[in-house]
Structure 1
Amino acid sequence: MHIDEWINSVPPGAVYGLLALIIGIESLGIPVPGELALVAAGMMAAKGTVNPVLLAVCASGGAIIGDSIGYLIGRKGGKPLFEKLGRKFPRHFGPDHLATAERSFHRWGMWAVFIGRFIALLRIFAGPLAGALRMPYWRFLIANVLGGVVWAGGTTVAVYYIGKAVEQYLKDFSYVALGIAAVGGLLTGVVIKKRAAKVHAAQAAVTPARAEAEQVTAGE
């Protein structure tokens, strides 16, 4: 079950706490699909199932608290913590990911925490890396609060209003939208297959030439 389906399956009263928990977990450095959770919850608010204002407050609170916990973990564990995580989870915490995040911090300073809210890679690194780099907590907190409110709260409210605006349109033109989505998916699949075939053909052409070159070099 996808996370959006999971959120839609829980009782409305539990959505607030569940959203805060998901956003908090992602913010402290564990890669979970926080954006999908925000969108799913925002659409529930657009349907009148939950309160959008309370939802935005809970999402913002989860983001701020989660990032603060991540900061404390990073400050205690330091750089060795990322090296250990990189060995265990190279897909999310590999050396390349860490290097990219560090460059962002050196470039933007405390505002990397704010900007990181809107970039999937930086979102899971922002809190722990700020702590590991010994950023003063007051500076981190300012960027953390601003980023949490703008990203988590703002996304929830934006999805709510977008959902309200398109709800009637989707209701009236559901079959048309379904047809367009089906055709779009089919065309996308065709394009991807063609590109994959071209790449495969190019690799197949390069391999014999490379093998021949290696044989000539060995002969010399």
Structure 2
Amino acid sequence: MESLGYFGIAILMFLDNVFPPIPSEIIMPSAGYSASQGSLILIGVIISGSIGSLIAAAFLYWVGYKFNHSSIFRWVDRYGKYIFLKSSDVEKSLKWFEQYGHRIVFFGRMIPAVRSLISIPAGMSHMPFWKFMLFSSLGTVIWTTFLACVGYYFGQNQALMHKIFSQVGYVIIALVVLFIVCYLYRRSKRKSNDI
């Protein structure tokens, strides 16, 4: 991480978003730990990680925006295996986007694999770009800040870091479930008011 510097962090976070197998859960805490050792500055780590993620999100949005459904699915069927992506993954992300709307872009930035996929349906549905980038930026900055701070403050204690990540996974899942329940409740209430 020290030898890669800020530019390297941005590149790795770009790749994390484009190629789901490269996890930000390793990149950002490692960069945060390097900052705690004095070789990098924490705010620089957060900014470079966020920039790399957002450039990738904008690129994937553009792919979804420019190409029609059948072209994207054809490409994924042919080349998706090289980046561990399947047509069923894209289909699933489209359904999420249709069901939960623009808010899934915000939450999706904090969920592994989903952060890579959610940008494509946002582009395919022609979500306003400024809105997409706003939701993406909020989710990305929160997530990269959290990961970098975990590495910065707890980098020397691997067991504690592992415990934090396992607990955070449950918290994010709980928040997403809560969001879905609220959404379904409001939707059913709206339907009952229409009757």
Question: Structures share a fold, TM > 0.5?
Answer: yes
In structure 1, the residue matched to 2:73 is 82
Tell me by how many angstroms 1:127 deviates: 1.8
In structure 2, the residue matched to 1:135 is 127
Structure 2 residue 22 is the aligned partner of structure 1 residue 30 = no
Structure 2 residue 84 is the aligned partner of structure 1 residue 92 = yes
Q: Is the 8 A contact 2:19 2:84 kept in 1?
A: no
- After superposition, the C-alpha distances for 1:53-110 in whole angstroms (9 at most, x for unaligned) are 1111111111122211221122112322233213322473213212221222122211
1:19-168 → structure 2 map (5 Å cutoff): 19-27=9-17, 29-31=18-20, 32-79=22-69, 80-90=71-81, 92-163=84-155, 167=156
- Over 2 Å off, 4+ runs: 29-35, 46-49, 86-93
Tell me by how many angstroms 1:33 deviates: 2.5
Tell me by how many angstroms 1:147 deviates: 1.2
Number of corresponding residues: 156
Distance 1:83 1:26 in 2: 23
Q: Is the 8 A contact 1:16 1:55 kept in 2?
A: yes
State the identity as a percent: 25
Relative distance call for 1:46 and 1:78 in structure 2 (3 A) is farther
**Counterpart amino acid of 1:85?**
V
Q: Is the 8 A contact 1:44 1:50 kept in 2?
A: yes
Q: Is the 8 A contact 2:29 2:150 kept in 1?
A: no
Q: Which runs of 5+ in 1 are unaligned?
A: 1-6, 178-220
Give the alignment's Cα RMSD to 1 decimal: 2.3
Distance 2:25 2:109 in 1: 10
- After superposition, the C-alpha distances for 1:108-132 in whole angstroms (9 at most, x for unaligned) are 2112111111222211112222112
Richer in helix (by share): 1
**Counterpart amino acid of 2:88?**
D
**Counterpart amino acid of 2:14?**
G
Q: Which runs of 5+ in 2 are unaligned?
A: 160-195
In structure 1, the residue matched to 2:177 is none
In structure 2, the residue matched to 1:213 is none
